[in-house]
Amino acid sequence: MRIDKEGIWYFRGEEMTRLDIVQYFYKHLRSDDKGSFYIEIDAERCSVDVEDVPYVITSVSLIPTQCDDESCLVLSLSDGSREILDCKKSLRMGRDNVLYSTVREGKFEARFSRPAYYQLCRYIEYDPVKGTYVIKLDHRSISINTSLVSGITGN
């Protein structure tokens, strides 16, 4: 089995198109301390070749009053699930200015698809007082890692 960089699963070279089966495999996806991925069901293991990271963020949505009565950003993942973005801790910029976030309780990384990347950029602003970039949600400004600056702004 293989997952390409766009989050598409393949078995013996053929794309797996049944979402229910892909979701089942995601549910049983594990990784070891060497960065290898495998599916573990009962006592059976099957290795999974992952081209980049196993998850892809397909969209970013602003959800009002979801997080302690404040707005938050919700990520839609390639397995059909959704989760809240931890703006302070989970973002990083990879090679070729590809944006990543940790997902699934920090167990995996996910690559932002191009549409999701641009959706997130709508909430990023430069704070000239602090000289940093922030994610603006409602009345809050959440500082983000400055390693994001070159990728997001083109600097």
Domain-wise residue ranges, the chain:
2-50, 55-153
Tell me the CA end-to-end span of the chain in Å, nearest whole number: 39
| pLDDT at site 66 | 62
| pLDDT at site 34 | 92
Assigned fold of 2-50 = duf1285 like fold (3.10.540)
Q: Which residues of the chain have pLDDT under 70?
A: 65-69, 145-155
| pLDDT at site 134 | 81
| pLDDT at site 67 | 67
DSSP-derived letter for residue 8 is -
Measure the CA–CA gap between 16 and 80, rounded to whole angstroms. 15
